[in-house]
Chain A
Amino acid sequence: MIEVKNLHKSFGDAHILKGINTAFEKGKTNLIIGQSGSGKTVFLKCLLGLFNYEQGSIAYDGKIFSKLSEDEKRDIRAQIGMVFQGSALFDSMTIEENVMFPLKMFTKQSKSEMQDRVDFVLKRVNLADAHKKMPSEASGGMQKRVAIARAIVNKPKYLFCDEPNSGLDPKTSIVIDDLIKEITEEYQITTVINSHDMNSVMQIGEKIVFLKNGYKEWEGSRYDIFKTDNKAVTDFVYSSELFKKVRQMYLEERG
């Protein structure tokens, strides 16, 4: 579980995050949504420890990150898996080497143990035949699946995904969403996804945090989002005619 209390972050005079309070639960897919410039990426980077913040706290299973020693921070980071927007695969390594990288860095496993684990996770993301390919030879969807495989290979407790569906076609997006949800439930990971994609919100959003202008405007589940009368949320989520109709049908069904 990740708990965020009164988080403030500024860049110079620009106050980006303004007192965020929320909690991301274990075994659930948590989504951070909001318009471009609402502070989603900054929030995610604060959660990852890539940005320092001025005020507030972030606790990983009760341990406040900013109060930990460097060694303890490193231990927490070793338990984090991250899927970057552009996949961020190491382009000088093959797909297999990319996935094996966290194991090489953080475990004392033998070569055969590492190979078994890599084979297992690549099979888990349906890439059993892609071991020797270079990232540049893989499609966008394949690269995302490799990034997920690399993120989960060391059995992380926390999984972060920055817009995992960006640049993907709708069908591949659904495959990636399903994969993240399955992995989250299977390994009981705390998953936090930064997304713009309303399909993802409706499909896998067990907890949704909506940011607006650096404030947490709303939070709830994908079912709550149909019922909410928060204007900022409805304006954002139901900006397309299709989703407006979906909402109308949902509300009519439930009287």
Chain B
Amino acid sequence: MLYLHYLGTYFLMIAEMFKKPTKWSVMKQLILKEIDDLIIGSLGIVAFISFFVGGVVTIQTALNIDNPLIPKNLVGFATRQSIILEFAPTFMSIIMAGKVGSFITSSIGTMRVTEQIDALEVMGINSLNYLVFPKFISLMLYPFVISISMFLGILGGLAACVYGGYASMGDYIEGVQLDFTPFHMAYAFIKTLIFAFILATVPSYHGYYMKGGALEVGKASTTSFVWTSVVIIVLNYLLTQLLLS
């Protein structure tokens, strides 16, 4: 019953987020600030992880192909499929649940503990619209981050493949272009947009409704990371079943 209560509160929070909009001149500044914090601020870690994981996927694939009948371009093909279908949209989102999600929960949670949210409410401001809506809008640019992750993952794979001597650049690029299905990109970006919504709202929920002091802010951040990851993994399964099967 308690979980149903939490779920109901979460959906009520989402509905409330769209009510009583904050003045546009103020909201515009908030959205730009959130884009800077959540999107631009994540590019470095996304680029770093994507490049090296792309390299590792390539090496692992190459080392597991020992049959001379299998063409060398399979390394590029397998890397592309792994990066586009799963690594960039799903696993990068779990990493972002740690980075962006914890940031959202702790910043909103700290505002709750220090009565800053009460101060907004007393002034007659819809605190959910003021705090959560700009995060939601800025994370609609999340597919842009995932595009960079896809590109750098494949580029990292190319670097590892060529400098590791597993296949030639031509073979790798041929593999990347082999049997390309445009719907796979659509599938990846549909998932990304849904995960962006989860990344904006689940951590906000944990921060907004937390009770207690500084210690509880830390606990809320951890709980938020766990639940955001769980929701992403479950939705990943459901969306894959719906879109690809």
The verdict on B159 contacting chain A, using a C-beta distance below 8 Å, is no
Q: Are the CB atoms of B119 and A104 closer together than 8 Å? A: no
Q: Are the CB atoms of A88 and B23 closer together than 8 Å? A: no
Task: Using CB atoms, name the residue of chain A closest to B115.
Answer: A88
Q: Are the CB atoms of B124 and A91 closer together than 8 Å? A: no
Number of interchain pairs (Cβ within 8 Å)? 51
In the bound complex, what is the Cα–Cα distance between A91 and B116 (angstroms)?
Answer: 9
Give B106-156 interface residues, CB cut-off 8 Å to A.
110, 114-116, 118-119, 121-125
In the bound complex, what is the Cα–Cα distance between A34 and B17 (angstroms)?
Answer: 38
How many chain B residues touch A (CB < 8 A): the figure is 16
Task: Kindly provide the distance from the CB of A18 to the nearest chain B CB, expressed in whole angstroms.
Answer: 24
Q: Are the CB atoms of B123 and A86 closer together than 8 Å? A: no
Q: Are the CB atoms of A104 and B122 closer together than 8 Å? A: no
Q: 1/0 per residue B10-52: CB within 8 Å of A?
A: 0000000000101101100000000000000000000000000
Q: Are the CB atoms of A73 and B124 closer together than 8 Å? A: yes
Q: Are the CB atoms of B123 and A85 closer together than 8 Å? A: no
Q: Are the CB atoms of B123 and A78 closer together than 8 Å? A: yes
A50 contact from B23, B116, B122, Cβ within 8 A: B122
How many chain A residues touch B (CB < 8 A): the figure is 24
Q: Across the interface, which residues of A come within 8 angstroms of B116, CB to CB? A: 88-91
A85-B115, A90-B116 in contact; A48/B122 too (CB < 8 A)?
yes
Q: Are the CB atoms of B119 and A82 closer together than 8 Å? A: yes
Q: Are the CB atoms of A86 and B115 closer together than 8 Å? A: yes
Give A55-88 interface residues, CB cut-off 8 Å to B.
70, 73-78, 80, 82, 84-86, 88
In the bound complex, what is the Cα–Cα distance between A169 and B104 (angstroms)?
Answer: 35
Q: Are the CB atoms of B114 and A91 closer together than 8 Å? A: yes
The verdict on A102 contacting chain B, using a C-beta distance below 8 Å, is yes
Task: Using CB atoms, name the residue of chain A closest to B110.
Answer: A91
Q: Across the interface, which residues of A come within 8 angstroms of B119, CB to CB? A: 82, 84, 88, 90
Q: Across the interface, which residues of B come within 8 angstroms of A50, CB to CB? A: 118, 121-122
Q: Across the interface, which residues of B come within 8 angstroms of A91, CB to CB? A: 110, 114, 116
Task: Kindly provide the distance from the CB of A103 to the nearest chain B CB, expressed in whole angstroms.
Answer: 11
Q: Are the CB atoms of B118 and A77 closer together than 8 Å? A: no
In the bound complex, what is the Cα–Cα distance between A2 and B151 (angstroms)?
Answer: 63
Task: Kindly provide the distance from the CB of B119 to the nearest chain A CB, expressed in whole angstroms.
Answer: 4
In the bound complex, what is the Cα–Cα distance between A105 and B130 (angstroms)?
Answer: 11
In the bound complex, what is the Cα–Cα distance between A147 and B122 (angstroms)?
Answer: 13
Residue ranges of B at the interface with A (Cβ–Cβ < 8 Å):
20, 22-23, 25-26, 110, 114-116, 118-119, 121-125
14 A-B interface contacts by CB (under 8 A):
A50-B121, A70-B20, A73-B124, A75-B124, A80-B123, A82-B119, A82-B122, A88-B114, A88-B118, A88-B119, A90-B119, A91-B114, A104-B25, A105-B123
- What are the 3 tightest A-B residue pairs by CB atom distance, in nearest-first order? A77-B124, A88-B115, A88-B119
Give 19 new A-B contacts, CB below 8 A, not counting A70-B20, A77-B123, A91-B114. Answer: A50-B118, A73-B124, A74-B124, A77-B122, A77-B124, A80-B123, A80-B124, A82-B122, A82-B123, A84-B115, A84-B119, A86-B115, A88-B115, A102-B123, A104-B25, A105-B22, A105-B23, A105-B26, A106-B123
